Chains A and B, each alone.
Chain A
Amino acid sequence: MVGRALRRMKGVCRGDGQQAHRPGGQQARRPRAPRPRALLGPYALLWFYLRWLRRHFLAELLAGVGVAIAVALVFATIVAAGSVSGSSTQAVHTVIGPASLQLHARSSAGMSDGLLTAVQRLKGVRSAGSLLETTATLRAANGRTASVDLAGAGTSLVFLDGLARTIPSTTLSAQGVGLSARTAHELGIGGPSTAPPGRVEIYVRGKSVSAPVSAVLGQEAFGALSQTSVAVMQLAQLQQLTGLHGRLTRVLVQPRRGQGAKVRAELTRLARGRIDVAPADQDVKLLSQALRPSNEASALFATVSAMLGVLLATAALLLSAPERRRMITELRLMGMRRSAIVQMFAFQALLLGAIASAIGVACGYALSSTLLSQSPRYLAEAFTLGAQTTLALAPFLAALATGVLSCVIAATLPLLDLRSNDLLRDLQREPGIPGNALPARARRSQDAIALILLVAASALFVADRSFALLACTLLALATVCGVPLALSAVIAAGARLSRWRQRLTALPVALSSLQATSVRSFALAATGAVALFGSVALGGARADLAGGIAGFARSYAADATLWVGNRGDDQAVVEFAADDLPARIAALPGVTRVARDGGAFVVLGGRRVWMIARPRNAARHVLASQIVSGSVALAQRRLAQGGWVIVSRQIAEQQHVRIGGRLRLPTPSGDVSLRVAALSSNLAWSPGAMFLGSAQYARLWDASGTGHGTTALAVSLKPGASARRAAARIRRLLGPSSGLAVRTGRGLRASIDTLTSEGLGQLRQISNLLLIAAIIAMAAALTSAVWQRRGALAGLRLCGVRPARLRRILLTEAGLLLSAGCVTGALAGVYGQAIIDGYLGKVTGFPIAAISTDARALEIFALVVIVVFATTCAPIVLASRVSPSYALAD
């Protein structure tokens, strides 16, 4: 290589030495030796890189894949997280149009429609529109169902210049229901077919009615709402269907210019403290708050994944570090200047980074709209959610910077050699294979750095759990720096074993090979360590979160054997007219008790809080498992007394209230002051949750006198009674026209589990992708390392070593590397899992299961080791059969 490169260099510098003869008889100057330029030309840069690629394509490809994975994860997560809030914001603005204020009912029973007239009469009001909104389940003739926000819009909304302006007039005609394109798609209605959409069954507030589909509303008629789960019908029809005659849930108000404050004051007067007066786009802020925990959790996962991707890329580039170091020596011996070498390395890093980042962005976009697409269906009962992928410049730039920077940092590490004035001597003096040995001093430094980083990570986490990301980063770096120590320990143990068992002849050879190529060994083991660290930490933390939520779902559903409520209303927040139904159910054989549960969403401190009201002893299990501070028994007694409330720790912190302190709660009967009986988790509802005594709930929420207030019936059975038979009897009692569904505790739990696991889908996909990336990275790194060693293996074959022996040696070596790297990574990963658990607990407020509940770290370790080992077997077998002639050809 030196000779050719030298010629190339001379070619590059051709202009310098060609002035020996001059025309006109002038005295010819003595030709001077060509002096290399300070910087290389573009052709020379490309030539060197192509030459490098020809020899190290696999290593370069591996590094590129690592960078692309990191970039894809960063890009996909940012885009996916932004898409839900972005498209939901568009949906909110489509509904409100030019309105800037709203009156929002505090109960699903709504407020009197007389308020609309009163608002329209206010002097500063330019226009006002009304809506009645409720959660409903639609069922198509083909049996497919969809949970939707069912909105009743009146003609007033047309005057507001909002949503109704663009909707075809037939949509709001009597007896028809218009479906958003997304809802129609979910139900399997519409599409390219010109056939009429047919009818749908609407289950709402305990009733069931069939209605024709008047239109499927696409982008042109419904704007951003077309991509949300929404159905719309005429206001009067929905009022009749729900039994909410003369009721509204929202009045949207457009004040005249400069009259906003005055109108707001007038609205507050009209509300009399029983209705929320808020900005019309209040939902945007509430949704943003609700999504923040999951977005922050996703961001943490993505950042940790990206960091691990960068480390994987660094480890991959480190595999070719010995060759890069040798190349630097050769180029210096040729006389190439330091600046030119730096330029060449920077060029190669930038090119690799740019190409890998571009691929990463493309993959990230595909991921953001498929695997990592957020499914916030668990928030759908409280918000109108969009699902369109929206793009912005910032994520693109962030992803590109991640990729290019990681390449530059990783590829230019060998440039540290340029500090020396006698590279060749330094390289030859090193023990092991020249350029491939990690000096003892560097190893000692790494051990010290690992220890310092570990201590720093622990200190940061203990100081404040918000520093989890930084602590994780330090821990990952500590893991990488700690690899040489683990490797030394494995080698020492192996050496003792081989001395003890003289017949273990492959082991000492494998150990010696690891020692001789310590940079390569370090890179391979570090790849394993980083991969395991990420997989165990992120996978474990996600599993703990899912475990905690599953525990909540189990306890939430365990408080009754059977649950009667609106279809799809897992959170029991949609009221229905229970009338004498509890008494009739209680009279059925096998039933011991029927409790009326209540629930609602309450806007408190910028959060849409989930409020649960159950009678005494009807929330035994859920409280016992979810109270994080305070006495369970005392809290239950106080709830039953009235005047007390149990709130999520996050709400208490936000409201600066402790147990025994007072909290002001907005209710349909006006604001009331309640004392905090205990603190709970968020019950897997990110904005927060609270428990209220059912008697107090009935007083405060049934102020309208509609007689509703019930959101679920909790049915307890006699010991030994069949839940299936009891459910069948209740269904018969309800009759075919009922919109209520009867579910067993197990069914409700499964439904909540499904929803929450969809909510955690993004985290699951990130950790799964990381695990796959880890396996690919490890397998590719080992394959690349084995393949690069064919020359040395051929040399051994020339000495009479049989392929079977080479296989045994290579497998032993792979096993040692895997165990050193993966054990280090798994141990650090468990620590990382604890840090991330702490962070998730703080950010989401969700219940988190304890780490010790499963052997996940061990499972991941076994999975990675087995799959990587199995994947590497083929290249090992092929490499071991290398012809001895290969050593001669080389």
Chain B
Amino acid sequence: MSLLSIDHVQLLDPHDSQRLLLDDICLQLDGGELVAVWGKRRSGRSSLLRLACGLLQPRSGVVHFDGRRLRGPSKIGDGIAYCPGGLHVGEAWSARRELVEVQLARGVPRRKAIARAHAALERAGAQELSERLLRSLRGAEQVRVMLALALTSAPKLLLVDDVVAGVSPIERKPILRLLRSLADEGLAVLSSTDEAPALAGADRALTLSDGRLHGRLAPELAEVLPLRASAGT
């Protein structure tokens, strides 16, 4: 069984219980894979990622992670790391301190937490940002630190929502390269975006429209930058 397995999932719109947001979604993802999902605004991209980490529960169908059925967000921090767009933690201290404190909050002893934070910041290419106030970071800086935060939990699956949102075009490539390299190191990465360039480097690129996941790229994305592999579910 794949690391992440989404089988025939249906999801109702949390804001409109009459509307089916996702319908018959099937997706398999293994370690070392980088899969990018493209969709327009309100197409359900973020909901798909939240479904994948157990934050949302499907109306029908099942989600398995690491061979076990996901029934809630219990695997976040324990195999799954979820990076929503923007800051969702700490706005008081420096990036390094925030990373250490989140780990302390998880119960990691201080020395180990410091070492992990250091390594994660370095891996995410954010070591020069470590003493900057987290709330002062913008664009790519913020994404790198959030990725570093995700890496501190040593995840198997990394879910990255709106990966290049707010990132300047010149800074996108390094971020996408970072995701690619993380996948190359064996991490399963599922990212979402509404911008075609953000599909670059993905093993597979999927389109989410009308609540369904399509293996083929939308025509407007046909000329998108070289993918590592062809599209397909």
- A505 interface hit (Cβ, 8 Å): yes
Contact A809 B105, CB 8 Å, known A797-B73, A798-B76: yes
B interface, size bucket: 20 to 34
Q: Are B111's CB and A508's CB within 8 A?
A: no
CA distance A499 to B111 in the complex (A): 10
- B153 interface hit (Cβ, 8 Å): yes
- A887 interface hit (Cβ, 8 Å): yes
CA distance A508 to B149 in the complex (A): 18
- A433 interface hit (Cβ, 8 Å): yes
Interface string of B99-117 (1 = CB under 8 A from A): 0011011111111010000
Q: Are B153's CB and A799's CB within 8 A?
A: yes
- B77 interface hit (Cβ, 8 Å): yes
Q: Which residues of A contact B84 (CB under 8 A)?
A: 798, 887-888
- A875 interface hit (Cβ, 8 Å): no
Question: In A410-445, which residues have CB < 8 Å from any B CB?
Answer: 428, 431-434
CA distance A505 to B77 in the complex (A): 17
Q: Which residues of A contact B104 (CB under 8 A)?
A: 505-506, 508-509
Contact A799 B106, CB 8 Å, known A432-B92, A434-B135: yes
CA distance A799 to B153 in the complex (A): 8
Task: Select which of A502, A506, A516, A799 is within 8 A of B102 by beta carbon.
Answer: A799
Question: In B66-124, which residues have CB < 8 Å from any A CB?
Answer: 73, 76-78, 81-82, 84, 88-93, 97, 101-102, 104-111, 113
Q: Which residues of A contact B81 (CB under 8 A)?
A: 800
Q: Are A885's CB and B55's CB within 8 A?
A: yes
- A884 interface hit (Cβ, 8 Å): yes
Question: In A783-831, which residues have CB < 8 Å from any B CB?
Answer: 792, 795-802, 805-806, 809
Q: Taking the nearest CB of chain B, how far is it from the CB of A801, in angstroms?
A: 5
- B212 interface hit (Cβ, 8 Å): no
Q: Taking the nearest CB of chain A, how far is it from the CB of B219, in angstroms?
A: 32
Q: Which residues of A contact B76 (CB under 8 A)?
A: 797-800, 884
Chain A residue with minimal CB distance to B75?
A800
Chain B residue with minimal CB distance to A431?
B92
Q: Which residues of B contact A806 (CB under 8 A)?
A: 105
The binding surface of chain A is classed by DSSP as helix
Chain A residue with minimal CB distance to B113?
A505
Q: Taking the nearest CB of chain A, how far is it from the CB of B101, in angstroms?
A: 5
Contact A508 B110, CB 8 Å, known A798-B82, A884-B76: yes
- A512 interface hit (Cβ, 8 Å): yes
Question: In A837-890, which residues have CB < 8 Å from any B CB?
Answer: 883-885, 887-888
Q: Are A512's CB and B55's CB within 8 A?
A: no
Q: Are B110's CB and A888's CB within 8 A?
A: no
Q: Taking the nearest CB of chain A, how far is it from the CB of B23, in angstroms?
A: 21
Q: Are A505's CB and B88's CB within 8 A?
A: no
Q: Taking the nearest CB of chain B, how far is it from the CB of A415, in angstroms?
A: 24
- A257 interface hit (Cβ, 8 Å): no
Q: Are B153's CB and A433's CB within 8 A?
A: no
Task: Select which of A506, A512, A809 is within 8 A of B93 by beta carbon.
Answer: A512
- A498 interface hit (Cβ, 8 Å): yes
- B50 interface hit (Cβ, 8 Å): yes
Q: Which residues of A contact B101 (CB under 8 A)?
A: 508-509, 512
Q: Are A516's CB and B55's CB within 8 A?
A: no
Most buried by B among A796, A806, A887: A796
Question: In A755-798, which residues have CB < 8 Å from any B CB?
Answer: 792, 795-798
Q: Taking the nearest CB of chain B, how far is it from the CB of A272, in angstroms?
A: 87
Q: Taking the nearest CB of chain A, how far is it from the CB of B102, in angstroms?
A: 5
- A269 interface hit (Cβ, 8 Å): no
Chain A residue with minimal CB distance to B152?
A799
CA distance A431 to B97 in the complex (A): 13
Most buried by A among B92, B97, B109: B92
Q: How many chain-A residues does the 8 Å CB contact rule pick out? A: 34
- A30 interface hit (Cβ, 8 Å): no
- A656 interface hit (Cβ, 8 Å): no
Contact A801 B77, CB 8 Å, known A433-B91, A795-B90, A884-B55: yes
Q: Are A799's CB and B92's CB within 8 A?
A: no
CA distance A503 to B111 in the complex (A): 10
Q: Which residues of B contact A884 (CB under 8 A)?
A: 55, 73, 76
Q: Which residues of B contact A433 (CB under 8 A)?
A: 91-92
Task: Select which of A502, A516, A798 is within 8 A of B109 by beta carbon.
Answer: A502
Most buried by B among A428, A503, A509: A509
Q: Are A801's CB and B102's CB within 8 A?
A: yes
Q: Which residues of A contact B110 (CB under 8 A)?
A: 498-499, 502, 505, 508
CA distance A796 to B102 in the complex (A): 7
Q: Which residues of A contact B109 (CB under 8 A)?
A: 502-503, 505
CA distance A887 to B101 in the complex (A): 18
Q: Which residues of B contact A885 (CB under 8 A)?
A: 50, 55-56
Q: Taking the nearest CB of chain A, how far is it from the CB of B74, in angstroms?
A: 8
Q: Taking the nearest CB of chain B, how far is it from the CB of A805, in angstroms?
A: 6
Q: Are A805's CB and B55's CB within 8 A?
A: no
Contact A505 B105, CB 8 Å, known A800-B77, A884-B76: yes
The 4 closest A-B pairs by CB, nearest first: A800-B77, A516-B92, A795-B89, A795-B88
- What are 7 A-B pairs with beta-carbon distances under 8 A? A434-B91, A505-B104, A506-B105, A799-B153, A887-B88, A888-B84, A888-B88
Residues of A within 8 A of B (CB): 428, 431-434, 498-499, 502-503, 505-506, 508-509, 512, 515-517, 792, 795-802, 805-806, 809, 883-885, 887-888
Residues of B within 8 A of A (CB): 50, 55-56, 73, 76-78, 81-82, 84, 88-93, 97, 101-102, 104-111, 113, 135-136, 149, 153
Query: Told that A428-B136, A434-B91 touch, could you supply 5 new A-B pairs with CB distance under 8 A?
Result: A502-B109, A792-B89, A795-B90, A884-B73, A887-B88
